[in-house]
Amino acid sequence: MYNERVAKVTAYWIAIGFNTLYFPMFIMGYMGMPRRYYDYLPEFQTYQVISTIGSWILVSGILVMLANLISGLRSGKRATDNPWGGTTLEWTVASPPPLENFDEIPVVTAGPYDHHHIHGQEENKK
């Protein structure tokens, strides 16, 4: 398992970097800057700098994410069969799955998105 707190922070980090990188490009395109030119007009300088900073933020977030994944592979705790509490059929199978996936044919009693029976929520419905 990877460090979930670092993963959540990294997801926001990457989202901020992505938007800081590409939103100025959207604005420049709207303002009329042509694509795929090796040089640009001075009026686009500020947007280019912001976009460059966004690329650094994005790449650093991706590197932290990769470091977190590698750290999880090397020294993280071993994942259980259903580490995130999924309720669909694929999470009822052991890991690694047996040859035919199910030793017995499962009985389905609820829909895939009916989560009232997990996390103590069934008491709230009474």
Contact (CB, 8 A) for 89 and 108: yes
My answer on whether 45 and 68 are in the same domain is: yes
Report the distance separating Cα 113 and Cα 86, nearest Å.
10
Number of domains into which the chain is organized: 2
My answer on whether 52 and 67 are in the same domain is: yes
pLDDT of residue 47: 95
My answer on whether 21 and 68 are in the same domain is: yes
Is the Cα torsion angle 48, 52, 54, 58 positive or negative in sign?
positive
More confidently predicted of 77 and 120: 77
My answer on whether 10 and 62 are in the same domain is: yes
Question: pLDDT by residue (tens digit) across 79-97?
Answer: 887 888 777 888 878 777 8
My answer on whether 10 and 69 are in the same domain is: yes
Residue-number span of the structural domain to which 58 is assigned: 4-75
My answer on whether 13 and 43 are in the same domain is: yes
Percent of the chain with pLDDT over 90: 52
Put simply, whether the predicted model's pTM sits higher than 0.95 gets the answer: no
My answer on whether 90 and 121 are in the same domain is: yes
* DSSP letters spanning 12-72: HHHHHHHHHHHHHHHHHHHTTPPSS-SS--GGGHHHHHHHHHHHHHHHHHHHHHHHHHHHH
Last residue within a domain, chosen from 32, 51, 75: 75
My answer on whether 98 and 112 are in the same domain is: yes
My answer on whether 29 and 62 are in the same domain is: yes
